[in-house]
């Protein structure tokens, strides 16, 4: 049996959808009362909370779980920004647990353009950041989930890590152009100084600690540290990774 954490989130919900489509049995985890009875594989997802993931790893080990598939982050192994350090701390604990593991390390989600920026794109025709002209090889969540499902349902992925990207690395100005073309309206990227971006995020209700992590991620983008393109999606799934054009074509209504 597969146990899914984060089943209502952007990636987790897509993992659930693909497992259901494949007719694979699974259970959704209840964080308040984890039940590992009959579970041999766990999909582990908690974007910023290392403590809860570490506790789950310990409980899974005690319960006899055999394999953890962890959603991590691009560049976790280098620990060059705060999100990477958070995820790598959990990866290390899993490695030391004696359990089989698969680490899925995606670059920025294409779907986050709508999730985080859709409101200002619709209302202002703009989205904001401090990434400068840094290039990012954004990846479609549908491809991330397909890799996760393969690791959960097929042999041969134990003790492997996959760095997932789309087929190209693009700037946010190029992202804006692609959204504009798909939505049929002009959308601009506005690059802000980090302190101004932080003020905008906190004024919109983003907690200060999380805003600082997002600024650190933007800094990493600006340094062009997330621009590599890999073939790991195709290696695992046998299909080419979706492009940003594919994503905006399928989701143009989110930006109109």
93 belongs to a structural domain: yes
pLDDT of residue 170: 98
pLDDT of residue 49: 76
List of the chain residues with pLDDT < 70 = 31-33, 47-48
97 belongs to a structural domain: yes
204 belongs to a structural domain: no
pLDDT of residue 47: 52
Provide the token pair at 70: 């962890």
Does residue 145 contact residue 244 with C-beta atoms inside 8 Å?
A: no
20 belongs to a structural domain: yes
Q: What is the CATH number of the domain that holds 67?
A: 3.40.50.720
Residues 6+ apart with CB under 8 A from 215: 130, 194, 197, 198
pLDDT of residue 35: 86
pLDDT of residue 46: 75
Provide the token pair at 98: 């004696």
* R_g (Cα) of the chain, nearest Å: 18
174 belongs to a structural domain: no
210 belongs to a structural domain: no
pLDDT of residue 30: 77
Domain count, the chain: 1
Q: Structural domain of residue 36, as residue ranges?
A: 2-107+140-164+228-241
pLDDT of residue 97: 94
Of the candidates 38, 184, 49, 183, the residue with the CA atom closest to the CA atom of residue 113? 183
pLDDT of residue 34: 85
144 belongs to a structural domain: yes
Provide the token pair at 190: 């506005």
112 belongs to a structural domain: no
């Amino acid at each position: 049996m597969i146990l899914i954490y984060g089943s209502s989130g952007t990636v987790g919900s897509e993992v659930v959808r693909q497992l259901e489509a494949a007719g694979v049995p699974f259970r959704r985890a209840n964080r308040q009362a984890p039940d590992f009875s009959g579970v041999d594989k766990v999909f582990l997802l908690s974007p910023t909370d290392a403590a809860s993931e570490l506790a789950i790893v310990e409980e899974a080990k005690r319960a006899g779980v055999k394999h953890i598939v962890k959603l991590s982050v691009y560049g976790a192994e280098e620990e060059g920004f705060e999100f990477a350090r958070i995820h790598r701390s959990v990866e290390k604990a899993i490695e030391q647990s004696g359990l089989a593991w698969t680490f899925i390390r995606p670059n920025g989600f294409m779907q986050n353009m709508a999730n985080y920026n859709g409101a200002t794109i619709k209302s202002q025709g703009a989205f904001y950041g401090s990434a400068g002209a840094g290039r990012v090889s954004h990846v479609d969540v549908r491809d991330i989930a397909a890799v996760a499902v393969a690791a959960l349902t097929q042999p041969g992925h134990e003790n492997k890590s996959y760095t997932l990207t789309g087929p190209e690395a693009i700037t946010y100005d190029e992202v804006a152009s692609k959204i504009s073309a798909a939505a049929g309206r002009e959308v601009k990227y506005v690059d802000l100084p980090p302190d101004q971006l932080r003020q905008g995020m906190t004024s919109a209700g983003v907690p200060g600690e999380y805003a600082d992590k997002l600024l650190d991620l933007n800094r990493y983008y600006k340094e062009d540290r997330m621009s590599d393109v890999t073939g790991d999606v195709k290696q695992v799934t046998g299909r080419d990774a979706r492009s940003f054009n594919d994503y905006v074509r399928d989701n143009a209504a989110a930006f109109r």
